[in-house]
């Protein structure tokens, strides 16, 4: 049986070098607020639904949501545009409960099982990504963090349970031919290098007792942007994934006075700084996430930013994954129908909430604190504090935005909303397909079949 391997710091399949290009399937098995248009981390979104409709409706809704979000039609579409690589984030709560960490929910595997079957049928490589850990590995919403503090780094038991979880996953899928590998932890932040490296070492060792076939992927600190303390691991099938959102870390890129070429040069300069660590680690680097949302400007600007970033990656021989595949009309190639009921809910919520509104609210609260007793707060302290303040705001969002809007929708209508994530009901960004399609078509050295499904 053949698997993707690393040879001479390159990804190979059947002893031939391949280029991996594709998407992350965000907000499927790990909800993200800006992608579905509902504030707060996943656990508070689910709690809001439970409080409004009851546990049975909550469970039934999400089973329907999971089933509709990824179906065979999605793989048909992805295969047709030339995608060969998908990163699939998941939440540890698929398998473990916080109040009963000794038990294990094997039912969580059913989504992975279906995913692997589709990957094999359509010959698209899958990378599983632990996006949310016990205690949360970073302070932000996408690690399902409701307190703004990454407690994953404080408690051995959290890290040990995640190592145990990866071992169970690896044992089950050790012989899956189109499983690329395991992305051990998404965007660590505020970690001790000693603790992060120890977690990686222990988890690699645990996986290798049951799976010698698949690549293990490591990410750096500071949301996968810092690799300065990452140690070389005693394993030859290791890759490193960085995440690159230049408009987040270098917002002046979006200055309207910049020409397209100036903008592209700034993107390249930022990437070159990030990749300095590539020379010291003896393994391939690839981009596990990049993308541009509506907060970056008009549709034409977003297309230009995407194309220019891909051109830079291609010139530097960097494999890449776009964030993300499907969402509620923010930064995806497949979006929920603009005139659908889900987007109607999103638009109502959008009158009171957005990421920008939330950040401004947090900034105002910190400014009040600064003016009332803490005038010497540093910028670094403000940066760390804003995660905690935003976590406090989540409670207000849950009770005063999410629940009041859900209460306007009856149970039957709410259940039907899950159907709107079905590919057949979604819209395809045809302009983005045109922009990225030419790069997928360059995949001439891959030995996979070129069959077209529609």
Selection from 225, 302, 321, 290 nearest residue 260 by Cα: 302
Longest alpha-carbon distance in the chain: 67
| Domain spans of the chain, in order of start | 5-440
**Res. 449: pLDDT tops 70:** no
Q: Does domain 5-440 have CATH number 3.40.50.300?
A: no
How long, in residues, is the chain? 454
User: How high is the pLDDT of residue 395?
Assistant: 95
DSSP letter for 409, please.
Answer: S
User: How high is the pLDDT of residue 278?
Assistant: 80
User: How high is the pLDDT of residue 442?
Assistant: 53
CB 130 within 8 A of CB 92: yes
Taking the C-alpha atoms of residue 88 and residue 319, their distance in angstroms, rounded to an integer, is 16
Q: Which long-range contacts (CB under 8 A, 24 or more apart) does 73-77 make?
A: 73/422, 73/423, 73/424, 74/325, 74/326, 74/334, 74/423, 75/118, 75/119, 75/121, 75/122, 75/124, 75/453, 76/122, 76/453, 76/454, 77/334, 77/423, 77/428
Q: Look up the pTM and report it.
A: 0.96
Give SS3 for 91: strand
State the chain's mean pLDDT as an integer.
Answer: 95
Query: Assign residue 116 a region: left if phi > 0, alpha if psi is -120 to 50, beta otherwise?
Result: alpha
Residue 281's pLDDT band, with cuts at 50, 70 and 90, is confident
Torsion angles phi and psi, residue 244, rounded to 5: -135, 110
- Write out pLDDT tens, residues 39-72: 999 999 999 999 999 999 999 999 999 999 999 9
User: How high is the pLDDT of residue 101?
Assistant: 74
- Where is 236: in which H helix or E strand? none
User: How high is the pLDDT of residue 338?
Assistant: 97
- Write out pLDDT tens, residues 108-120: 999 999 999 999 9
- Where is 177: in which H helix or E strand? none
Selection from 147, 235, 150 nearest residue 185 by Cα: 150
Taking the C-alpha atoms of residue 304 and residue 435, their distance in angstroms, rounded to an integer, is 9
Taking the C-alpha atoms of residue 214 and residue 126, their distance in angstroms, rounded to an integer, is 11
- Write out pLDDT tens, residues 148-169: 999 999 999 999 999 999 999 9
């Amino acid at each position: 049986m053949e698997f993707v391997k690393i040879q001479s710091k390159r990804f190979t399949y059947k002893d031939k070098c391949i280029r991996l290009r594709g998407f992350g399937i965000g907000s499927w098995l790990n909800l993200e607020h800006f992608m579905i248009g509902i504030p707060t981390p996943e656990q508070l979104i689910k709690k809001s639904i439970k409080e409004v409709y009851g546990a049975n409706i909550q469970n039934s809704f999400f089973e329907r949501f999971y089933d509709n979000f990824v179906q065979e039609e999605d793989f048909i579409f992805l295969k047709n545009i030339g995608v060969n690589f998908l990163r699939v984030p998941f939440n540890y709560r698929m398998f473990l409960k916080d109040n009963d960490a000794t038990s294990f929910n094997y039912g969580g595997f059913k989504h992975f099982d279906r995913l692997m079957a589709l990957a094999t049928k359509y010959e698209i490589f899958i990378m599983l990504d632990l996006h949310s850990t016990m205690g949360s590995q970073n302070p932000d919403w996408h690690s399902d963090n409701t307190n703004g503090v990454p407690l994953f780094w404080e408690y051995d038991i959290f890290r040990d349970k995640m190592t145990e979880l990866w071992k169970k996953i690896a044992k089950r899928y050790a012989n899956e031919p189109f499983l690329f590998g395991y992305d051990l932890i998404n965007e660590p932040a505020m970690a001790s290098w000693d603790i992060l490296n120890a977690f990686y070492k222990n988890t690699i060792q645990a996986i290798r007792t049951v799976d010698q076939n698949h690549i293990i992927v490591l990410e750096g600190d500071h949301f996968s942007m810092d690799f300065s303390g990452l140690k070389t691991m005693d394993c030859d099938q290791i890759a490193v994934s960085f995440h690159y959102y230049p408009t987040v870390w270098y917002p002046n890129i979006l200055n309207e006075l910049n020409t397209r070429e100036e903008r592209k040069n700034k993107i390249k300069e930022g990437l070159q700084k990030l990749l300095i660590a590539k020379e010291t680690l003896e393994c391939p680097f690839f981009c596990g996430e990049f993308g541009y949302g509506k907060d970056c400007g008009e549709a034409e600007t977003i297309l230009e930013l995407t194309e220019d970033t891909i051109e830079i990656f291609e010139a530097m021989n960097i494999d890449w994954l776009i964030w993300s595949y499907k969402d509620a009309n923010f930064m995806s190639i497949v979006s929920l129908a603009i005139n659908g009921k889900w987007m109607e809910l999103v638009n109502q919520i959008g009158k009171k909430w957005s990421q920008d509104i939330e950040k401004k609210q947090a900034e105002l609260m910190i400014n009040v604190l600064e003016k009332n007793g803490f005038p010497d707060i540093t910028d670094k302290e403000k940066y760390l504090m804003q995660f905690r303040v935003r976590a406090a705001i989540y409670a207000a969002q849950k009770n005063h935005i999410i629940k009041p809007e859900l209460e306007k929708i009856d149970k039957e209508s709410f259940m039907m909303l899950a159907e709107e994530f079905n590919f057949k009901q979604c819209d395809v960004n045809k302009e983005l397909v045109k922009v990225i399609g030419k790069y997928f078509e360059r995949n001439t050295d891959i030995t996979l079949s070129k069959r077209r499904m529609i």
